[in-house]
Structure 1
Amino acid sequence: MSTQTLQPTAPAPRTFGAPVLEASGVVMRFGGLTAVNDVNLTVREGEIMGLIGPNGAGKTTFFNCLTGMYKPTEGEVKFLGTVLPPKPRSVVKAGMARTFQNIRLFGNMTALENVMVGRYCRTNAMALTSIIRGPKYRREEAESRRIAQEWLDFVGLGHTSEHLARNLPYGDQRRLEIARALATDPRLILLDEPTAGMNPKETEQAKDLIFRIRDKGLAVVVIEHDMRFIFSLCDRVHCLVRGETLIEGSPQEVQSDHRVIEAYIGQPDEDEEEMVAEAHAQDEAAPSTPAATDGRMKEDRA
């Protein structure tokens, strides 16, 4: 009987749709400080893009330029081929949603009510209709409630619909924010440190959730400091350092680039290298004394 050694088959490269987000030559200055300098980024439908960089690299500032919180000093941001006005509400209505680094929920509202807030940009009832609670308002409210419950179910929080947001565990609050963002019917969702403060189990759950969001055809951009999370999640990774692009590529390309390693952990200067080498040499040259050996034996017996 003959046996064959089967070689592992490399997974087929993922294919993506048309560009959803295109940032070209984005510059953001605050007075004399250039926080973002000539950054280009393209994100396609069904793609997960990671945005990384050490503290102060300009990630959140760039995020704010993408989402209409800031108007770039130079360059432009196109969403679905259109340059949007620097108004967050207009950006959300166009189909771009985001979460924030710090949780921003309405603590005294239920989980369901928090998600229903995300439906506001999709409702057509006028102020007067809302005040008198006419038939159109009641229909839209019922539809918003149904959709909000579906998104709660999607993120695994369907059982918490009547719980106050402030009483939910931290990881559930993070997922609730994502559900609220999804309720806006986005084509692109931007997540700012979605696993900050989470334990390993919650982090894995967050990764699975983002994969399921991607599988719905959405484009996803993620800022995250957890490199293991980013490299196991993203299709491509864009690294910023001092407001400029250092590298963009596959997770394998980025994590093996020596410049990325140096940006995160630094590069020791010559004096530090000499001190480390000298310490190692002294350790190797130090003789083993009977007293030291006896001490180690006593510790081993203990």
Structure 2
Amino acid sequence: MHFAYAGGRRILPCMTLSHSGEDVSRAAAGSPAAPSPTGPDRLVGAALMTGSGLANQVGAATAALAFPVIGPAGVVAVRQWVAGVLLLAVGRPKLRAFTWRQWWPVLCLAVAFATMNLSLYTAIDRIGLGLAVTLEFCGPLAVALSGSRRLTDGLCALAAGAAVVALTRPRPSTDYAGIGLGLLAAACWACYILLNRTVGARLPGTEGSAAAAGVSALLYVPVGIAVLAHRPPTAGAVAYAAAAGVLSSAVPMLADLFSLRRVTARFFGIFMSVNPVLAALVGWGMLGQALHWIDWLAIGAIVAANGASVLTSSRP
């Protein structure tokens, strides 16, 4: 069931998938089935996944440091350009050989990826890293649970739903626009997962992901020009945005690919569910964004729902 990170964040290589998740469960999205891991392999895999999650969330926090200068849209534009160049260099898609049957899911994936990152980064600017990433995480969790008829998954869905209600509870300081943007990012992530399946089935290796990243980068050319003309960037802001592109795209992509060679998809799916917790900790440590104890309980409930769903699933 679980997914590789896309979330604000990264595009993993597309391959034929049989399950869903952060990147169509990151596992689904990119690697052949891993053999049964040995003790050392699991430790190395866990270390790689921890590094992947931290890089992803530190990248998002680093991007937030540039918000006061060029805003979320400017940061996303620079981030998309960096990610597009990196992934096109790695994937080297044969664009002229693509048929329309291959192009349309790539184009839809590019739009989903572009919208997801803009809505997530804008949500981070409004409601903080921890809450924004937790709300976005509901997208892959919903995809993972939607096709199941098991009682356990139903209970997991109820627990996650109650947690979202707790996170979005009305308060005088509630930013409903930020919450809506976080949920929009979740919906885009769900679309990203489903589209990734289609792209992976129709294009070999990383060509589909690379092409989608390239198209997404092109979509942000006029946006970036308009934003940066209105809000002149500083060298520091551009450096922060570019670092976010590397930390939230290139580093997690490579770390995930190597970790999926050492651990099972199930272990990967359980472990990646700690990303909302990592986001909350990084947001507190780097950005000074403290959370209420109810928010911590809600984040824990969503993480537990994901872990319980994976642990009780009969499919790897």
TM-score bracket, normalised by the shorter chain, equals under 0.3
More helix by share: 2
Structure 2 length-normalised TM: 0.24
Q: Which has the higher strand share?
A: 1
Report the TM-score when normalising by structure 1.
0.24
